[in-house]
Structure 1
Amino acid sequence: MSLGQELAPHLPFLRRYARALTGSQQHGDAYVRACLEAIVAAPGDFPRDVDARLGLYGMFQRIWSSTNDNDEPEAAPPEGDREGIARARLSRITPLSRQALLLTAMEGFTSEDVAYLIGVTPEDVNRLVSEALEEIERQTQAEVLIIEDEPIIAMDLETIVRDLGHDVTGVAVTRDEAVAQALAHRPGLVLADIQLADDSSGIDAVKDILARFSVPVIFITAFPERLLTGERPEPTFLITKPFQRSTVKAAIAQALFFDESTVPA
């Protein structure tokens, strides 16, 4: 099997991580492209002493760490004030702690794997994750709209959201209901399933909402590969079903991290 064939199954999930880390599909996908270009240019530098997935993320981390103050690669142009927002957040959560949290909670790596990826000890990883979680507890709270047609999943999400200290503005099960609820009580964050009860799309519901006002969105799907191709406009934040509580917590924290409305004056 060629190196390209080994890496292909892992690329969608690397895009998920990169987008969550940068708060942008555009910036995240640019980092992934830079990573792949580096591998193609020097395949002999790809680590063969670890499995392909860990090696791929390791190459990505090398690209990320080599940039100055986490500036995006040249392929990604500026995106409004988002980078300034991120820098304001970075003054309170260090980049390394965010990486450790996302790599463990969202990508499912062990502390030992993350230690390899970011160049620290497993004990340091645990400390960094604890630091990030402590900062999340102090993060500005948001009002959350949940768009989910499966009652059990909706209840689970509502419990997680409330346990994190956020409020739930409502639970919508169709596109029209989601838009109506968003307009009636403007949320600070949207959690949206892809497929809704009346065969409508959570993506279309979000597009309708975003046409009225800006709000951070986290999509939830059982088929993440379909929304992580890098070939078209796609979600920045994505949770895979079935999800873990820690994954939802990390995704919410990261989405709010980049949201303009939650940056202190």
Structure 2
Amino acid sequence: MSASDRAGPGMPCWVSLLTGDLAEAQRFYGAVLGWSFRLGSLGEDFSVALSHGKPVAGLGEVARRMGVAVSWTCYFAVDDADLVAARVRERGGTVAVGPLAVGRGRAVLAADQAGAVFGFWEGKVLRGWNIGSGVAPAWLELRTRDAFASAVFYGEIFDWDNRPDLCEVRYEDEAVMVRADGHTVACLRGGAIEAAPDPRIRPRWHVYFRVDDVEKAVEAALGAGGSVVSEPGAGTGRVGREATLCDPEGGMFTVTENGHC
């Protein structure tokens, strides 16, 4: 997560896979999403995924070392990691790692009051990496029990309400939408997660990646040792046709066609 432009404070600025096997993750996501990879600036346990030669996501072989589940994690830009970490604790969340010096910035891995894991980053961010455009993820969605309670939590820790020039939060389509400069950057959606029979369905930030053909992506995922959580079908209305997949280690994500925000 380094370059020259800063994302607006409190806005998504990166996504990263916490994996237990970097080589296996690269093989899987290369097959399913067509990514190539280069060594990251943080050492041999980290790589940057490239789509059409442009950075799209990070991968780090740190899940076992950190004692966390293999998962995709979204990061938000902040001006002061210590201040935001204190706000997380004050509001019933958990700070699991950090603030930790990483390259030229500082990173924190945390969980909200419902247990959904997220991160935040103090430092420079990638120029042109914007949700819903270019090679960046098509969509970020918090799937939780109470979208309004979560909106209050994130609004307070990231100071969304006090930055109307940078951020707009509104209720639409039974969800809370977060916009920056008129562009939707995140969605917070509530639902009956506690009643879901699948133990993998728990409060989480969920990442959508754009593909040309969902069926081909599903076929590639199965061929590469992954699994299907939800079969191809119509999207939420904000993204196109979609399917939810797991990589061989259980990292969950969604592929979608014609994703836009």
TM-score between both structures, scaled by the size of structure 2: 0.29
Greater helix share, structure number: 1
Larger Cα-atom Rg:
1
- The structure in which a higher percent of residues are strand is 2
What TM-score do the two structures reach when normalised by structure 1? 0.29
